[in-house]
C-alpha cells in the first residue's frame, strides 16, 4: 500500500482521521489569512505561532495513523 492509498483509506474509513484532516486544513487557512495582515503585530505573530503548533499536532497524529496502517 502506498502512502496516498493509506491516506485515502483513512479518510474513507476513520472518522477521527477525517476530523483531524479537516481541522489541519482549517488551521492552514486561518494561518494564511493572518499572515496577510500588514503591519504584523506581536500579538498576531503569537497567534500565528499558536495556530501553527496546533496544526503540527494534528499533522503528527495523522502521520502516526498513516504509519500504523503502512506497517500492517
User: Is position 57 within any domain?
Assistant: yes
Given a cut of 90, is residue 37 above it in pLDDT?
Answer: no
DSSP 33: H
Across residues 41-61, what is the average pLDDT?
A: 97
What domain range includes position 30? 3-67
Q: φ and ψ at 2, to 5 degrees?
A: -85, 165
Cα 34 from chain centroid (whole Å): 17
Work out the average pLDDT over 43-72.
Answer: 97
Task: Answer whether residue 72 is part of any domain.
Answer: no
Name the grid cell of 59.
499533522
The pLDDT score that the predictor gives to residue 18 is 98
- Distance from C-alpha of 34 to C-alpha of 71, rounded to nearest angstrom: 38
Domain count, the chain: 1
Q: What are phi and psi of 70, to 5 degrees?
A: -65, -25
Q: Is residue 43 part of a domain?
A: yes
Q: pLDDT at residue 23 above 90? A: yes
In the predicted model, is pLDDT for residue 72 greater than 90?
Answer: no
Amino acid at each position: 500500500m502506498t502512502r496516498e492509498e493509506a491516506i485515502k483509506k483513512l479518510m474513507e474509513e476513520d472518522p477521527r482521521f477525517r476530523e483531524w484532516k479537516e481541522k489541519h486544513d482549517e488551521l492552514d487557512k486561518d494561518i494564511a489569512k493572518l499572515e496577510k495582515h500588514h503591519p504584523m503585530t506581536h500579538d498576531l505573530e503569537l497567534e500565528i505561532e499558536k495556530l501553527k503548533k496546533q496544526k503540527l499536532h494534528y499533522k503528527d497524529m495523522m502521520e502516526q495513523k498513516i504509519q500504523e496502517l503502512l506497517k500492517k
